[in-house]
C-alpha cells in the first residue's frame, strides 16, 4: 500500500502536469513543483504527523492551493481542486482521435531547464503513462535568454 506522502506527491505532480498542459502562469507551476519538493524532503512519519495535525501549510512552500491538493489526495477525495485542474486539460481530438491514438511519442518538448513547466523526470513519467515509446527534449540553448535558456 502506498504511503500518504507518496499519494500526495503523485497528486502534486499531476497538478504540475495539468497546470503546464493548460498553459497556466509559470508561478503556479513553480508553486506546485516547490510543494512537491517540500513533501519529497519529508519522511513518511513527519508527513503523516503534519497531515494529522492539519499543519501542512505551516511549511515554507506549502500554500493554500497546494495544501488543498495534498489534503484531498490523502483523504481520497474526488471532485476537488485537482479534478477541476484536470478537467481544464481535456481536449476533444475530434476527427484527429485516430491520428492521436497512433502517436508513439513526442519530438518537441521543453523542460524547466529552459522555458517548460515540468522537470525532465516528470515529463518522462508522464510520457510513459501516456503509452509513449519516446520523448525528445528540445530545450533552448543557454544563449537564448528570451526563452529562459
pLDDT tens digits, one per residue of 13-62: 889 888 888 888 888 989 999 999 999 999 999 999 999 998 999 999 99
pLDDT at 112 over 80: no
Q: Which domain holds residue 125?
A: 95-147
C-alpha torsion sign, points 43, 49, 51, 56: negative
Total domains present in the chain: 2
Q: 119 phi and psi, to 5 degrees?
A: -75, 160
Looking at the structure, do residues 17 and 44 belong to the same domain, yes or no? yes
CA atoms within 13 A on the CB side of 95: 0
C-alpha torsion sign, points 90, 96, 100, 102: positive
Looking at the structure, do residues 104 and 42 belong to the same domain, yes or no? no
pLDDT at 149 over 60: no
Could you say which of 73, 88, 103 is where a domain stops? 88
Looking at the structure, do residues 47 and 73 belong to the same domain, yes or no? yes
Question: Considering the chain, what is the average pLDDT of its residues?
Answer: 86
Report how far residue 52's alpha carbon sits from residue 39's, in angstroms, rounded to the nearest whole number: 15
Looking at the structure, do residues 12 and 84 belong to the same domain, yes or no? yes
pTM of this prediction? Answer: 0.72
- pLDDT-based confidence at residue 94 (cuts at 50, 70, 90): confident
Looking at the structure, do residues 56 and 8 belong to the same domain, yes or no? yes
pLDDT tens digits, one per residue of 59-82: 999 999 999 999 999 999 877 888
Report how far residue 21's alpha carbon sits from residue 46's, in angstroms, rounded to the nearest whole number: 32
Q: What is the pLDDT of residue 148?
A: 58
Amino acid at each position: 500500500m502506498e504511503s500518504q506522502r507518496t499519494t500526495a506527491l503523485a497528486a502534486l505532480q499531476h497538478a504540475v502536469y495539468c497546470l503546464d498542459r493548460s498553459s497556466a502562469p509559470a508561478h503556479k507551476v513553480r508553486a506546485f513543483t516547490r510543494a512537491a519538493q517540500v513533501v519529497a524532503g519529508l519522511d513518511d512519519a513527519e508527513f503523516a504527523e503534519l497531515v494529522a495535525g492539519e499543519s501542512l501549510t505551516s511549511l515554507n512552500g506549502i500554500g493554500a492551493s497546494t495544501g488543498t491538493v495534498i489534503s484531498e489526495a490523502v483523504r481520497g477525495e474526488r471532485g476537488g481542486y485537482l479534478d477541476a485542474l484536470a478537467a481544464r486539460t481535456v481536449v476533444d481530438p475530434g476527427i484527429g482521435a485516430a491520428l492521436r491514438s497512433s502517436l508513439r511519442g513526442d519530438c518537441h518538448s521543453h523542460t524547466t531547464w529552459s522555458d517548460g513547466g515540468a522537470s525532465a523526470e516528470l515529463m518522462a513519467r508522464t510520457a510513459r503513462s501516456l503509452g509513449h515509446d519516446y520523448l525528445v527534449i528540445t530545450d533552448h540553448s543557454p544563449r537564448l535568454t528570451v526563452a529562459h535558456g
